[in-house]
Every structure is written in structure tokens, then in C-alpha cells.
Amino acid sequence: MAIDYTKWLFKYKLLHVLMWLMVALFSMLSYYDYETSVRDQFLWALLFVVICMPAFYLAAYRLIPRLLYKKKFGAYIFSLIALVLLSTAAGFFILRGLNHLLTGEPVFMGRETDYPLTSVLIWDNLLAIACSSTLKIISDRFRIEKRLHEVEKEKIRTELDFLRSQINPHFLFNVMNTIYFQINKDNAQARGSIERLSELLRYQLYECTTDKIAINKELAYLKNYVAIQAMRMETGSDVKLQISDNFPAFKIAPLLIQPLVENAFKHVSHFKESRQNKVHIFLGVDSSTELTVYVANTYDKSNHTKHLINSGGLGIQNLKRRLELLYPEKHSLDIAQKEDVFETTLKIRYDY
């Protein structure tokens, strides 16, 4: 708590002191008198500053929040006029009272002397109120924008967590179905699938809690995922996962690639001639720090008169939303439906 107070003290109180010293210096230079010592002139300038301070802070921290922001414009204008008059009167009597104590001159010295002093005080108070109002409104606006930005970031973080959590039930349902059928056919294969599943769950439960994760971990997860999904395919199906060898050590948001692969296995064809059933996946990077993910799968036109090219299913919709939140203006997702192949190409400009 002490550290926060020290920061607050430095940020506001010390800066305000420096600001008023600069105002006093500017005021002294504006009305510099060669017949009066610099010390006396600076002291009188400081006195003018002290006189203007109440108007400055009352306008900024009382009138604006309580009247202007609440749209009580009439009361606000009336209060400003009253504040200027009261501050001017108080300043006049303070200055003339001190002058009377120091020199013995009367408080009221006549129109020719009193009027210029009153005019200067009115002008100084108006200037102080104008400056304080401007600074207050600008600072409040920046503070509100900062708060809105923080709220938006928190909203995005919450939404991303929700979107990420939506992946698990659908994914687990498919994997458990695969293992269920494997148990009756090959226990050893089922045990291998369970081991891979445990790795996938460990990754999702313990690795994916951060905003970004190392690409090598995401690729390891993808290899296990493709291996499990490939077991559901007919024997002899053409399943390929190609990863280029020149991957640099960068980070990426977790589970961005998996929905594309899941969608491919979900809608892949199941022709009797298994070699016609294809799922091809390619991942690579180029010199412009851009990750490219290409996924293609065959589909049976007789059973898919309307492939999910527009909706893409829940997983693709969630992926689109995540990309908009995580990589605005830094990604492209192209979905194409050809004669018998469904293709998706994702490109992401990543940061190291």
C-alpha cells in the first residue's frame, strides 16, 4: 500500500507543485519589473498562484463532477460566476491587506489603481478555471477510455475462455467413441489411444491456461490429435500431416489449429475404396513471420449436397471469433469447396 501511495504522491502532488511553480515563473516573466528585485517579484507571483488555486481545484473537483457532468448547466454557469467573483474579492483583500501591512498604504487606493488589480485577478481566475476544466475533462476522458479498454480486455479474456472450453465436450465425445470401438477390436491399440488422450487432456487442462503457448507444444498436441482421429478412418485412408522443418521458436494462441483438423475429419468422405478418403494437413512458415495452415479433405457429394462451407460448424465459428479477438488484422481464413475436396487455409502473422 505504501508503494501505491508513493506513486500517487509523485504522479499527482509533485506534478501539481511543479506546474504551479512554472505558472508563477511565467507570471513573473510576463510582468517583469526591473525596479523590483527578482525575489520579491517571484514571491508576489507565488502569492497570485496561491490566490488562484481555490478556483482551480473547486472548478475541477467540485463543479465539473457535481454540476457539469450531471448536465446542470445553469447551476454550473452560475457557480462559475460566483466562484470568479468570490475568488477575485478574496484575492483583492489578501493582496491589499499584505501591502497595507508592509507599506502602510490604504486598502482602497482609488479607481485608477484598484481597477487594474481587479481586472488582473478576474483574468487570472478565469484562466485558472479554464485550464482546470480543460485538464479535468481531458484526464477524465482518458481515464474512462482506459477503464473501457480494461473492461473490453477482460470481456475478451472471458469470451476466449468460454470459447476454449466449448472445444472440450465435442472433442471428448468423438475420442471416446473411437476408443469404445477400439476396445472390442484391439486392446493394445485402445491402450495407445488412451495414452494419447491423456496427453491431449493434460495439454488442454494444464498447458492451455495461458494466452499463448510455444508452437512446438501446439504441434506435438496436433500430432497426437491427428493420430487418434486417423484411427477412426477406414484402413488404407490417405491421412497426411506434413510440418515444415524450419519452424522458429514463436508462440501462438492455443488450440487454434485443432478446429480446422477436427472439421476435416468430421466431414471427410467414407468411400468403400478407402484410398479415396483423404485428409491432408500442412503447416509451414515463411520469412515474413506468417504461419500457414492448410487442411483439405475429400467429401461425398451425394451425401453432402450442402457442405458446411458457410457455417463450418460450431468449432469453425468459434475459431473465427477467436481469430477476430486475438489476431485482428493479422490473419486470414479462406474456405473453399471444390468438386470433391473441401479446403481451408489459415494464415496468421505471429510475434516472437
Task: Give me the residues paired with residue 329 across strands.
Answer: none
Say yes or no to pLDDT of 34 above 50: yes
Q: What is the pLDDT of residue 311?
A: 46
**Tens of pLDDT along 311-345?**
455 668 778 888 888 898 899 999 988 878 999 99
Q: DSSP letter string over 101-129? A: HHH---S---HHHHHHHHHHHHHHHHHHH
Give pLDDT tens digits for 82-137.
Answer: 998 998 888 888 878 877 777 777 777 766 777 777 887 888 788 888 888 888 88
Question: Domain-by-domain residue ranges, the chain?
Answer: 2-148, 186-349
Burial class (CB in 10 A: 0-12, 13-18, 19+), 229: buried
Q: Over 50: is that where the pLDDT of 72 sits?
A: yes
Tell me the mean pLDDT in the region 278-286: 92
Q: Please state the CATH superfamily assignment of the domain spanning residues 186-349 in this structure.
A: Histidine kinase-like ATPase, C-terminal domain (3.30.565.10)
Predicted local distance difference test score (pLDDT) of residue 33:
63
Give me the DSSP letters along 235-284: TT-EEEEEE-S---S-EE-TTSSHHHHHHHHHH----SSGGG-EEEEEEE
- Say what the pTM is: 0.57
Question: How would residue 282 be classed by pLDDT, with cut points 50, 70 and 90?
Answer: very high
How confident is the model at residue 309, as a pLDDT?
Answer: 47
Which residues, 6 or more positions from 23, have their beta carbon under 8 angstroms from its beta carbon?
A: 49
Average pLDDT over residues 31-40: 66
User: Model confidence over 53-63: pLDDT tens digits?
Assistant: 888 888 888 99
> Whole-angstrom Cα distance, residue 164 to residue 159?
8
Whether 274 and 234 have beta carbons less than 8 Å apart is answered as yes
